[in-house]
Amino acid sequence: MTEVTKAAAIGGGVIGAGWVARLLENGIDVAVYDPAPEAERRLQAVLDNAERAYVKLTLAPRRRKGALSFHPSIAAAVAGADLVVESVPERLDVKQVVYAEVEAAVDPGALIASSTSGILPSDLQAGMKHPERLLVAHPFNPVYLLPLVELVGGAQTAPETIERAKAIYAAIGMHPLHIRKEIEAFVADRLLEAVWRESLWLVSDGIATTAEIDDAIRFGFGLRWAQMGLFETYRIAGGEAGMRHFMAQFGPCLKWPWTKLTDVPDFTEDLVDLVSSQSDAQSGAYSIRELERIRDDNLIAILQALKVKDWGAGKTLAVYERRLVDAAAAEVEAADLTQPIVTLERRVPADWTDYNNHMTESRYLQCFADASDALLRFIGVDADYVAGGGSYFTVETHIRHLDEVAALEPVKATTQVLEAEGKKLRLFHRLTHGDGRLLATGEHLLIHVNLKTRSASDSAPAIAARAAEIAQAHTALPWPEEAGRAVGQPR
C-alpha cells in the first residue's frame, strides 16, 4: 500500500511540525503526540506559516486538508496510522524507547520513518520486533517547502520498504533520494557540516563575520547550487573540455592548506558569544517567525522560477502540481451532474490583491480560467490529450464583477455547461465567497483546436460525448439571467 490516509507524528518540534504541515496539506490526517507543555502552540505557529506559504506556492488546486488531532500517548496517536513519523530528540536511547511503544500499538503494515539527521538506521533498528519496516526519512527545514528527503535503510530494512517510501514521499511533492550505503549524517548534512566547520574557523580567526560569510554564499555559489548543485557547476567551469579539464586544472589545489576541514575550532564560550553576537547584529531586527516568512517567500520565488525552466526542484514542483490537478479532476468526476460542477476552491493569495487588499480584476479572470481548465480535465482534455494535438482555446469572455474579496479569504467557482456542440463549448462560471456572496460571473466560449494545424476542429469522440452528456444534464438547470449579456446592456 503506497497511499497514506492517516499518519502519526511523534514529536512536534521544528522538523516534526514541518512534517505535520506537509502531510495535512496533502489531505492526510495527522495524529500528534508531543508531551511538551506548549507543543500545540508552537506547532500551530508553524502551521500558520505553512498555510501562508502554500497559498503562494502554486496555482494548482490544493487538496482538502487532512484533520489534525493531539493525543495523550504514543499508543493513541499511532492507532490506525499508515505512516509513523518520528521526530524526537537526537538520542538513540530515547528513539528506541519510542519505537518500542510504537510497535506495541501500530498496525502491522505501517511504515516507521525517523527524521534523524545522522543516527544510523541499523542502530535505530536494534531491539525492534519488526525492523524491516523502519527507515530514515531525513528532510530539510522548512519541511513543508523543501522537496529533498534522504531515504536510508538499515541492515534489516526490507527493499519493499524503501520502494514504498519513495512512492509515498513523491506523492506529497518531495524528491526522495535513496542513500544506498549507511553513513553517519548521510549525504547532505555531511556537505553542510564541512561548510559550517570552515565558517566557524573564518569567524574564530577574525577573517569574516557571520554576515560576510552569508553574503559570500547567497550572492555567489549559493545561487548556483540552488539550480545545478556542485558537480554540474564545476563541469561548466571546465569549459568545453568539461569536468576532466576542471579536475586537471584545480585538482592540485586540494593539496594546498586552504581549509581546516580536518580540524575544528575549540567550541568555547568566547566562540559561542562571538558567533551569537554577530548573528544578533546581522538578523536581530527580525523575529524568528518573521525570518521564517521571509525565507519561505524567497524559497517560493526560487521554486517558481525553476519551475518555469522545468529544472531541479522546480521540476519536482511541476510534477507535484500535475498531481494536484489530476487529484482535483478525480474529485470532480464524482460530481452530481444535475448541479453546476465545483471547479475551483482556494484562498486568495496575498499577491493577488491591490493596495486596498482587494483581489485585482485580472485575478477574477484567473479564477475563471482555472475553473475552465478543471472542467476541461473533467471531460478528458488532460495533459496526454493536449500532447496528442488537441485542446480548447478561449475565444470570447464576459465577466461581471459583483463584490470584493480580500487576501486569504476563501473562494469557490461552479461551472454550468450551456452548450457543447461541434467545436464549441460554452461555459458559465459563478465565483462565490466562502460566506456565500456572489463575487462574479463569467461566460466563456471555447473552440476546439487542432494544435498541429492551429485551426478549429472537432474534438475526439470521447471528449465530445462527455461534454454533451454534461450539457444535457445541465439543461435541467435554470438558464442564467446573466448569460448572453453584453457590456453596458441594461439590467
User: Residue 432 maps to which CATH number?
Assistant: 3.10.129.10
Q: Which band of pLDDT confidence, cut at 50, 70 and 90, is reported for residue 254?
A: confident
- State residue 331's pLDDT score: 67
In a domain, 315, yes or no: no
Do 128 and 73 fall within a single domain?
yes
Q: What pLDDT digit, counting tens, does each position of 353-388 carry?
A: 998 899 999 999 999 999 999 899 889 998 889 999
Reply yes or no on whether the pLDDT at 87 is more than 60. Answer: yes
Residue 262 DSSP class: T
CA distance 324 to 345: 12
Do 291 and 143 fall within a single domain?
no
Q: Is the peptide bond before 142 cis (omega within 30 degrees of 0)?
A: yes
Q: What pLDDT digit, counting tens, does each position of 310-351 carry?
A: 999 999 999 998 888 777 766 666 678 889 999 998 888 878
Q: What pLDDT digit, counting tens, does each position of 169-221 carry?
A: 999 999 999 999 999 999 999 999 999 999 999 999 999 999 999 999 999 99
- Residue 134, strand partner residues: 112
CA angle 337, 343, 344 (to 5 degrees): 150
CA distance 106 to 8: 10
Do 102 and 123 fall within a single domain?
yes
Q: What pLDDT digit, counting tens, does each position of 213-245 carry?
A: 999 999 999 999 999 998 988 898 888 988 888
In a domain, 491, yes or no: no
In a domain, 480, yes or no: no
- State residue 487's pLDDT score: 79
Do 41 and 176 fall within a single domain?
yes
Do 14 and 83 fall within a single domain?
yes
Q: Is the pTM of this model over 0.85?
A: no
Q: Is 224 exposed, middle or buried (0-12, 13-18, 19+ CB in 10 A)?
A: middle
Q: Which three cell numbers stand for residue 298?
A: 524567497
CA distance 147 to 172: 9
Do 108 and 143 fall within a single domain?
yes
Q: Which three cell numbers stand for residue 146?
A: 523543501
- Residue 345, strand partner residues: 412
Instruction: Calculate the CA dihedral of residues 145, 412, 66, 314 and round it to 10 degrees.
Output: -20
Do 163 and 240 fall within a single domain?
no
- State residue 166's pLDDT score: 97
Do 366 and 380 fall within a single domain?
yes
What φ, ψ does residue 353 adopt, rounded to 5°? -115, 160
The domain spanning residue 178 has which CATH number?
3.40.50.720
Do 234 and 372 fall within a single domain?
no
In a domain, 220, yes or no: yes
In a domain, 149, yes or no: yes
Domain's final residue, options 165, 188, 211? 188
Reply yes or no on whether the pLDDT at 1 is more than 60. Answer: no
Reading across the β-sheet that carries 6-10, which strands appear in turn? 68-70, 29-33, 6-10, 83-86, 111-114, 134-139, 148-153, 175-179
Instruction: Calculate the CA dihedral of residues 293, 298, 303, 309 and round it to 10 degrees.
Output: 160
The domain spanning residue 223 has which CATH number?
1.10.1040.10
In a domain, 487, yes or no: no
Domain count, the chain: 3
Do 25 and 165 fall within a single domain?
yes
In a domain, 390, yes or no: yes
In a domain, 318, yes or no: no
CA distance 133 to 328: 31
Do 359 and 304 fall within a single domain?
no
Q: Which band of pLDDT confidence, cut at 50, 70 and 90, is reported for residue 465?
A: very high
- Per cent of the chain over pLDDT 70 is 98
Q: Is 27 exposed, middle or buried (0-12, 13-18, 19+ CB in 10 A)?
A: middle
CA distance 361 to 27: 31
Question: CB of 143 within 8 A of CB of 22?
Answer: yes
CA distance 464 to 62: 28
Domain's final residue, options 158, 173, 188? 188
Question: CB of 122 within 8 A of CB of 156?
Answer: yes
What residue numbers bound the domain in which 211 lies? 192-308
Angle in degrees, 0-180, between the axes of helices 188-204 and 269-283, rounded to the nearest 10: 100
Contacts 24+ apart (CB under 8 A), 450-456: 450/389, 450/390, 451/386, 451/389, 451/390, 451/391, 452/389, 456/423
Domain's final residue, options 123, 157, 188? 188
Do 84 and 226 fall within a single domain?
no
SS3 284: coil
Region for residue 11 given its phi and psi (left: phi exceeds 0; alpha: psi -120 to 50; beta: otherwise): left
